[in-house]
Amino acid sequence: MPTSDRTDARFSYEGLDRIIHERARLSVLTSLVSHPRGLAFPDLKRLCGLTDGNLSRHLAVLQEADLVSLEKGYEQNRPQTLCRLTPSGRARFLDYLGVLEQVVRDAAQAAGRPQNAAGHDRSGLAEPV
Amino acid sequence: MPTSDRTDARFSYEGLDRIIHERARLSVLTSLVSHPRGLAFPDLKRLCGLTDGNLSRHLAVLQEADLVSLEKGYEQNRPQTLCRLTPSGRARFLDYLGVLEQVVRDAAQAAGRPQNAAGHDRSGLAEPV
């Protein structure tokens, strides 16, 4: 049977922070990183395609992990929550993105999709470079 | 308060298949896509950095979803399981990778990290291009 000649956990991706990696939270963090001044709850909900309950639950997890801050304020005399990445949240998200980029590179390369700038097509080759 | 002027669920990433996206299963699928002839259970376990129990559990989920096949065979007269991506598993994984690449592009761009081949640095700008 074919065996691998690697001895390390080549594809374990330990750096994929489980709090960030969850799909809905990934949506939330990507939305927030593109709005540094923060987003009101209804706008964040719309950008992420989440229900009130789901977004609230995920924001609680992110706030508990000090990735986002939730500030109560007022918009046109109505209470509104402003959601924003914390400085450490932004730093951790950028770290996570670095690992995600590695996943994409590994998998695309291994799947034989052309990734090399010089145009080398590795389709059909079993072993990654 | 700052609001978004988008009305669509710009960052919902519906295409991030939940079965594939789970971190350990992402490790398994990336390992398998780089070994088209399949991997023996112990080698897959090592590449992914998973315990016997965790790997078995995740393989069961992937098999149920017809993403991988598990073939019982023998290696040096000892029973061994060969794990391999199914054809539909490979196709779905490549689709998933396409969405993941989009996530990486969106987030990197929004985070202000230089991504443009022409070298435009968008650091500090709130709105993505």
Q: Given B2, B13, B36, which is nearest A35 (Cβ)?
A: B2
* A residues 45-74 closer than 8 Å to B (CB): 46-50, 73
Task: Give A48-91 pLDDT, tens digit per residue.
Answer: 999 999 999 999 999 999 999 999 988 888 889 999 999 999 99
**Bridge-based pairing state of the strands A68-75 and A39-40:** unpaired
What average pLDDT is seen over chain A? 84
Whether residue B128 is predicted with pLDDT greater than 60 in this model: the reply is: no
Structure tokens that stand for B99 in this block: 């969405």
What average pLDDT is seen over chain B? 84
What local confidence, expressed as pLDDT, does residue A110 receive? 79
Structure tokens that stand for A17 in this block: 């922070």
Mean pLDDT of B86-96: 95
Contacts of A111 in chain B (CB under 8 A): 33-34, 90, 93-94, 97
Strand partners, B68: B85
Per cent of chain A over pLDDT 70 is 81
CA of A17: which chain B residue's CA is closest?
B23
Query: Is A55 strand, coil or helix?
Result: helix
For B1-58, the DSSP string reads -------S-TT--TTS-HHHHSHHHHHHHHHHHT-TT-EEHHHHHHHHT--HHHHHHH
CA of A2: which chain B residue's CA is closest?
B39
Whole-prediction pTM value? 0.77
Higher pLDDT, B15 or A125: B15
Q: Is B19 on the interface with A (CB under 8 A)?
A: no
Q: Is A40 on the interface with B (CB under 8 A)?
A: yes
What local confidence, expressed as pLDDT, does residue A1 receive? 54
